[in-house]
A = this chain, B = another copy of it.
Amino acid sequence: MTGRRIKNMDEFAKLSDISRPTLSKYFNDAESVRKSSRVKIEAALEKFDYRPNMFAINQNRKLTKTIGIVVPYLADPFFSEIVRRIERRCIDAGFWPVVFSAHGQKGLESNALAILQSLRPAGALIAPLGRHSDFEVVQQFTKEVPTVVFDSNVDVGKAFVGSNNSQSIGLIVDYLCRTGEPPCFLEMPPVNPNANKRRDAYVQAMERLGHDPQVIRADGTGWEFERIGLEAGMRLITTRSLPSETILCSNDRLAIGLLAAAYQKGLRVGHGPGCALRVAGHDDHPWSQFTCPPLTTVAQDFTAIAEKSVETLFEIIKNNSTTVDRPEFVFDGKLVLRASA
């Protein structure tokens, strides 16, 4: 390609010998122009390296090709993995994903939504902070922008996609009860609806199986779950106040902290003989296979959640609605048996 930089579409139109409106159509949807034009345009693109100005494009299009993705905490591997998948799908569909992280803070979430809104996105995929969201702001946003809510089922938006907490918790509670002492439940701080849903699911599952539910609340705030788990673990082990030698944590990050506490206290974790504790998690975080011992957990179906979210959003964008009123899609978890329980 030549060094020559092309300023705008008019210039490129002259050089490629194609009219500007046709070029405009091409860039909007390459299939919408005749094949002979397409090859001409693509040949010219090879030669001149022009790309349309994003801002000018989006200023005029009634529907932008921008898709906003807002997550509460991008440093959480759960979200970085799910975002990765979502981004991929958006790009493949010719959209332009823009990612925002609230970094666990209400103010930043509101800010992200405001910036996002000024981008006039075609739609948005958001996992709200939950309890710490500025509900008004989120609701206002979803009124203006077609939105699919995922992971954290706050009652806004046009659809929800997430995990079937009651199924997945039921699954692991059942497993733990079959193979040893019924578990107590180490609950994360209730940052979002999942926290309560999982606890309730635990209680129900235990009662269904005729056991006494034992919920321990790990105190602490924010999203540093490993630290919270570690501190709770140290405290519980030191004061010998664990109601069961089997502990189900409401997420893997908490479990990772708990495993660290057990290790530091010299307690062997696992399901074999000679083990003092069994620890299980929930989510199957990318790191859970590398813990010591590897963590038994319930896998959330990242891929399914990501794909269904994107698919649903595309449908909403296309038809300007879903067939049902705010459908909720939840995916079952799968038991992942490793050494920890």
Question: Are the C-beta atoms of A120 and B287 separated by less than 8 Å?
Answer: no
Q: Tell me which residues across on chain B come within 8 A of A177, comparing CB atoms.
A: none
A305 at the B interface (CB under 8 A): no
Q: Tell me which residues across on chain B come within 8 A of A257, comparing CB atoms.
A: 290
Of chain B, the residue at the smallest CB distance from A294 is B260
A180 at the B interface (CB under 8 A): no
Question: Are the C-beta atoms of B115 and A292 separated by less than 8 Å?
Answer: no
A293 at the B interface (CB under 8 A): yes
Picked from B74, B117, B119, the residue with its CB within 8 Å of the CB of A55 is B119
Q: Assuming the A-B contacts A52-B118, A114-B51, A118-B51, are A75 and B290 also in contact, with contact meaning beta carbons closer than 8 angstroms in the complex?
A: no
Nearest 8 interchain pairs by C-beta = A263-B292, A75-B80, A292-B292, A55-B59, A55-B55, A260-B290, A54-B118, A55-B58
- Cα of A230 to Cα of B286 in the assembled complex, Å: 14
- Taking A51-B117, A53-B120, A226-B287 as given, write out 7 further A-B residue pairs in contact, using a Cβ cutoff of 8 Å, ordered by the A residue number: A53-B59, A54-B55, A54-B120, A55-B56, A260-B294, A264-B294, A287-B287
Contact string against B for A residues 45-74, beta-carbon threshold 8 Å, 1 for contact and 0 otherwise: 000000111111011000000000000001
A204 at the B interface (CB under 8 A): no
Picked from B58, B101, B289, B294, the residue with its CB within 8 Å of the CB of A84 is B101
- Cα of A58 to Cα of B51 in the assembled complex, Å: 16
Q: Tell me which residues across on chain B come within 8 A of A74, comparing CB atoms.
A: 74, 80, 83-84
Q: Which of A20-67 contact B (CB under 8 A)?
A: 51-56, 58-59
Q: Which of A284-335 contact B (CB under 8 A)?
A: 286-287, 289-294
Question: Are the C-beta atoms of A75 and B286 separated by less than 8 Å?
Answer: yes
Interface size of A by Cβ–Cβ distance < 8 Å? 48
21 A-B residue pairings within 8 Å (CB atoms): A52-B118, A53-B59, A53-B120, A54-B120, A74-B74, A74-B84, A75-B81, A75-B84, A84-B103, A87-B103, A88-B103, A230-B290, A259-B290, A259-B292, A260-B289, A260-B294, A263-B292, A264-B293, A264-B339, A287-B287, A292-B292
Q: Which of A82-101 contact B (CB under 8 A)?
A: 83-84, 87-88, 91, 96, 98-99, 101
Q: Tell me which residues across on chain B come within 8 A of A83, comparing CB atoms.
A: 74
A111 at the B interface (CB under 8 A): yes
Of chain B, the residue at the smallest CB distance from A74 is B80
A77 at the B interface (CB under 8 A): yes
A256 at the B interface (CB under 8 A): yes
Q: Tell me which residues across on chain B come within 8 A of A260, comparing CB atoms.
A: 289-292, 294
